């Protein structure tokens, strides 16, 4: 199963938006071990928006609250481009703003397996053959 996940995620460019460095590094390690390419990590909303303008991104993991600022502007750009993403948060999922309530949420802390399954699910929704 693990090798199937690695194969299906191989080469995906995942934007990581996370303001807590230890969590960002842990996510980066989890993704790199699964042969994904990490874009970022971005620790501010403005930085994430800049990365979206400059880099090719296939999907994203978005911390809901980035240094006191909600990540919704990044989610808006992802939606406008038809790109999948998952929110990562320690907050209650009911705190997510109405337009985003149907988006997948990873509750922190989460395991490598949970992260990879979430990415596989969101990317798989837009790809044939998954």
pLDDT by residue for the chain (130 residues), tens digit each? Answer: 444 444 478 999 999 999 999 999 999 999 999 999 999 999 999 999 999 999 999 999 999 999 999 999 999 999 999 999 999 998 888 889 999 999 999 999 999 999 999 999 999 865 443 3
With tokens 């949420």, the residue in question is 105
Residue 81 lies in a domain: yes
Residue 74 lies in a domain: yes
Residue 46 lies in a domain: yes
Residue 99 lies in a domain: yes
Q: What is the CATH number of the domain that holds 81?
A: 3.40.50.2300
Question: What's the domain count of the chain?
Answer: 1
φ/ψ of 37, rounded to 5, equals -105, 125
Q: What is the pTM of this model?
A: 0.89
Give the span between the Cα atoms of 75 and 60, in whole angstroms. Answer: 9
Residue 129 lies in a domain: no
Residue 130 lies in a domain: no
- Residue 76 belongs to domain spanning: 2-124
């Amino acid at each position: 199963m693990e090798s199937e996940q690695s194969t299906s995620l191989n080469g995906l460019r995942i934007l990581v938006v996370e303001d807590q460095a230890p969590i960002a590094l842990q996510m980066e390690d989890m993704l790199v071990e699964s042969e994904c390419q990490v874009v970022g990590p971005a620790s501010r909303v403005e930085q994430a928006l800049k990365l979206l303008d400059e880099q090719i991104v296939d999907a994203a993991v978005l911390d809901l609250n980035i240094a006191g600022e909600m990540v919704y502007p990044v989610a808006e750009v992802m939606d406008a481009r038809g790109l999948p993403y998952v929110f990562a948060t320690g907050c209650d999922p009911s705190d997510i703003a109405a337009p985003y309530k149907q988006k997948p949420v990873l509750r922190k802390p989460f395991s490598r397996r949970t992260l990879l399954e979430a990415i596989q699910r969101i990317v798989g929704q837009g790809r044939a053959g998954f």
